[in-house]
Amino acid sequence: MTTPICALCEKEITQENDTKEHLIPNAIGGRRKLKGFICESCNNTSGDDWESALAKQLNPLSLFFGISRERGEAPSQLFETTGSDRLKLNLHGSMDIEKPLYSETPLESGSGVQIQIKARSMPEAKRMLQGVKRKYPQVDLNELLDNAKSESSYCSDMLKFNLSFGGHEAGRSIVKSALALAVSSGIPAEICGEATNYLRKEDSEACFGYFYASDLIKNRPEGIPLHCVSIKGCSKTKQVIGYVEYFGVQRVVLCLSDSYEGEDISNTYAINPITGEELSLIVELDLSNGDIREAYDYKKIPEGSVEAAFDKVIPTGMEASFEKEKNRVVNQAVKHAFENCGAKEGEMLMPEHINKLTGLMMEKLEPFILHQLAQSRKKK
Ligand SMILES: [Zn+2]
pTM tops 0.85, yes or no:
no
- Reference 216, options 228, 208, 207, 224; nearest CA is 228
pLDDT tens track for 192-205: 999 999 999 989 98
CA of 17 to the centre of ligand 1 (A): 9
Tell me phi and psi for residue 208, to 5 degrees: -145, 160
Question: Does 347 score more than 80 pLDDT?
Answer: no
Question: Does 81 score more than 60 pLDDT?
Answer: yes
Which alpha helices (DSSP H) does the chain contain, by range?
Answer: 40-44, 46-65, 122-135, 141-147, 168-184, 193-200, 289-296, 305-340, 351-379
Question: Does 94 score more than 80 pLDDT?
Answer: no
CA of 20 to the centre of ligand 1 (A): 13
Average pLDDT taken over every residue of the chain: 86
pLDDT-derived band at 160, boundaries 50, 70, 90: low
- The protein residues having their C-beta less than 5 angstroms from ligand 1 (an ion) are 6, 8-9, 39, 42
The pLDDT of residue 105 is 82
pLDDT-derived band at 321, boundaries 50, 70, 90: confident
10 Å CB burial of residue 80 (0-12, 13-18, 19+) is: middle
CA of 41 to the centre of ligand 1 (A): 6
Q: What are the structural domain ranges in the chain?
A: 21-68+163-296, 93-147, 313-379
10 Å CB burial of residue 82 (0-12, 13-18, 19+) is: exposed
Tell me phi and psi for residue 281, to 5 degrees: -115, 150
pLDDT-derived band at 70, boundaries 50, 70, 90: confident
CA of 9 to the centre of ligand 1 (A): 4
pLDDT tens track for 120-142: 777 788 888 888 888 888 877 77
**What is the average pLDDT across 99-110?**
80
CA of 33 to the centre of ligand 1 (A): 17
